[in-house]
Amino acid sequence: MALLPEGDGYGVVWTMTPARAEHVLALSDAAFLDALAAHFGSRVERFDSVTSRRAFPLALEIARPTTGTRVVVVGNAAQSLHPVAGQGFNLGMRDAFELAHTIIDTPRDGLGDAPMLEAYARRRRPDRLSGIVFTHGLVQVFGSDLPFIRWPRGFALTALDAMPAAKRAFARAMLFGVH
């Protein structure tokens, strides 16, 4: 679940199974606000109103290839990631950064040619694939309430929180990717 700034308020991204989403969408505004408050617990003081609700089925989609004749596909156009952990935006920023460096390092007569685009795609591949695997894995791990997954998940989060150096390294990897 995420609260995202939207206009003067916030938008909510609430990930759930399709059956649960159908049920929640059918709730009255008051019942929806109650369910939202129960899910958030004490982390948010209160929710006042609901303006609209929509469901978007999530599916992992990967563009292959990500380059073509004088074309580069970046960010969520290259892969639609689950919106967990904000990694779609981060991956798109890293795509754009690497593309800018590739353009700067390429002679003018080589801009957009196959060798330039292949070099860009080759350099982006490890970070791109690790971002895809990581976010898809998070959905699988955090989408399960099975005890044999819930307990190790909680332990891992507690351990990460208890080790500031590991926490910083993890945050750095989420921002700057795999090199």
Q: For 77-115, write each residue's pLDDT tens digit.
A: 888 777 766 788 888 899 999 999 999 999 999 999 999
Q: Which residue has the tokens 């005890």?
A: 147
Is 144 found in the same domain as 87? Answer: yes
Rounded CA gap, 66 and 39, in Å? 38
Give the torsion through C-alpha atoms of 156, 162, 168, 171, to 10 deg.
40
Is 133 found in the same domain as 96? Answer: yes
Q: Which residue has the tokens 């989060």?
A: 157
Q: What is the pLDDT of residue 98?
A: 94
Q: What is the pLDDT of residue 179?
A: 65
Is 104 found in the same domain as 172? Answer: yes
Which long-range contacts link 141-144 to residues 24+ away (Cβ below 8 Å)? Answer: 142/84, 143/15
Residues spanned by the domain of 14: 2-43
Q: What is the pLDDT of residue 12?
A: 85
> Per mean pLDDT, which range of 70-74, 79-83, 129-133, 149-153 is the poorest?
79-83
- 75 DSSP assignment: G
Rounded CA gap, 84 and 139, in Å? 7
Mean pLDDT of all residues in the chain?
A: 86
Confidence of residue 59 (pLDDT cuts 50, 70, 90): confident
Q: pLDDT at residue 64 above 90?
A: no
11-55 pLDDT, tens digit per residue, is: 888 878 788 889 999 999 999 999 988 888 777 777 888 888 988
The more confidently predicted of residues 174 and 97 is: 97
* Residue 95 burial by Cβ neighbours in a 10 Å radius (0-12, 13-18, 19+): buried
Q: What is the pLDDT of residue 29?
A: 93
Is 161 found in the same domain as 79? Answer: yes
Q: What percent of the chain has pLDDT over 70?
A: 97
Mean pLDDT of 62-80: 85
pTM: 0.67
123-141 burial: b if 16+ Cβ within 10 Å, else e = ebeebbeebbebbeebbee
* Residue 75 burial by Cβ neighbours in a 10 Å radius (0-12, 13-18, 19+): middle
Enumerate the β-bridge partners of residue 9.
6
Is 97 found in the same domain as 165? Answer: yes
Triad 128, 84, 131: Cα angle to 5°: 15
Is 167 found in the same domain as 101? Answer: yes
